[in-house]
Amino acid sequence: MNTPDAALEIPLQAAARIRIVLVGTQHPGNIGAAARALKTMGLSRLVLVAPEQYPADEAFRRAAGADDLLAAAGVVATLAEAVSDCRLVLGCTARSRRVALEELDPRAAASRVVDLAGADQVALVFGRERTGLSNEELQLCHASVHIPANPEYSSLNLAAAVQVLAYELRVALLAAGGQPSPDNGVRQEAAASHAQMEGFFSQLGETLDDIDFHKGRAPDSAMRKLRRLFLRAGLNEQEVRLMRGILADAQRMARLATTKPD
Ligand code: SAH
C-alpha cells in the first residue's frame, strides 16, 4: 500500500499486548479523557482498578468517540489482578525518585514496552489523581516512569500523563514497523509473568523465615530490597524455577535442622 496513512500504521498485534492500567481513578472524566488519549494513538486496552465512580456518564462524555474503548475496558479489584499475566509492569509517578526503583523517561519506557510487546503482555500503570500510586503498588512494578516535567510543578493531569506515554508508545511502535524485535526472535525462554514472580517472592519470604534470616528484625526492608533486585534482573521462567528449586531445598534443610532426633 502506498497511501500516506499506510506509513502510519502501527503493528496492531503488539499494540494489543500493551495495557494501560488506571488505579483508583477518582474523577470519571479522566477515565474518558484517558480512553480518548489512547484511541488517538492507536492503543485500545484499558483496565480500571477499583475506580471510585464507574460506570459514569461523565466518562463516556469525555471519551468523545472513544466509547468503544471504554465499553471494552476491564474493571478489576486490585493491581495484582490487573497485571498477573504481564511480563513487564511499569508504574508512572509524578514524583521523581520517590521510590528506590529504576527510573525511566517516557521514551526509554516506550522502547522497553514495545520490545517486549512483540511476544508478551505488558502494562503501564497510572495512579490516583490525589495520591498517585501507593508504595505497595509501586513495589509490584519492574521500574518506574517519570515524565521530566517542571520539578517545581511536576504533576500532570492523569489523562495528560496517559497522552504523553501513549504518544511515545506510538512513535516506538511505528519505528518497530511490525517487525518482532530481534530479542524476541532469539529468546529461548519467556520472561516470568507477574504472577510467577509473586509466587517466587512469597516462597522467598517463607524461606527467609524458615532459615531465621531476620533474627527478630522486621522483614519489610530486606524484602523490599530483594524484590527490587529480582525485578530488575528480569528473570525468565526457567530462572524462576531454578530459584524456587534452591529455595525448596533450603526449606527442606531448615526443616531437617529443626527436627529433633527421636
Ligand atoms: N498528587 C499525585 C499526582 C497524581 S497525578 C502525586 O503526587 O503522586 C495522577 C497520575 O498521573 C500519577 O499517579 C501518575 O501515574 C501520572 N503522572 C502525573 N504526572 C506525571 C509525571 N510527571 N510523570 C509520570 N507520571 C505522571
Q: Write out pLDDT tens, residues 151-185.
A: 999 999 999 999 999 999 999 999 987 555 555 44
Q: Are residues 150 and 218 in the same domain?
A: no
Q: Are residues 229 and 137 in the same domain?
A: no
Query: Which DSSP helix (H) or strand (E) runs through 235?
Result: none
* Count of domains observed in the chain: 2
Going from the Cα of 78 to the center of ligand 1, the distance in angstroms, rounded, reads 19
How do residues 104-133 score in pLDDT, each as one tens digit?
A: 999 999 999 999 999 999 999 999 999 999
CB–CB of 54/109 below 8 Å? no
| Residue 44 identity (one-letter amino acid) | S
User: Is 90 touching ligand 1 by the criterion CB < 6 Å?
Assistant: no
pLDDT (mean) for 74-93: 97
Q: Are residues 54 and 121 in the same domain?
A: yes
Probe residue for ligand 1, chosen from 47, 79, 93 as the CB with the greatest number of ligand atoms within 8 Å: 93
Quote the pTM value.
0.87
Residue 100, pLDDT above cutoff 80: no
Going from the Cα of 91 to the center of ligand 1, the distance in angstroms, rounded, reads 10
Q: Which three cell numbers stand for residue 14?
A: 503488539
Q: Are residues 39 and 138 in the same domain?
A: yes
pLDDT (mean) for 53-73: 95
Going from the Cα of 201 to the center of ligand 1, the distance in angstroms, rounded, reads 27
Q: What is the largest CA-CA distance in the chain?
A: 83
| Residue 239 identity (one-letter amino acid) | E
Q: How far does the chain reach from its first CA to its final CA, in angstroms?
A: 80
- The boundaries of the domain holding residue 117 are 13-176
Going from the Cα of 179 to the center of ligand 1, the distance in angstroms, rounded, reads 32
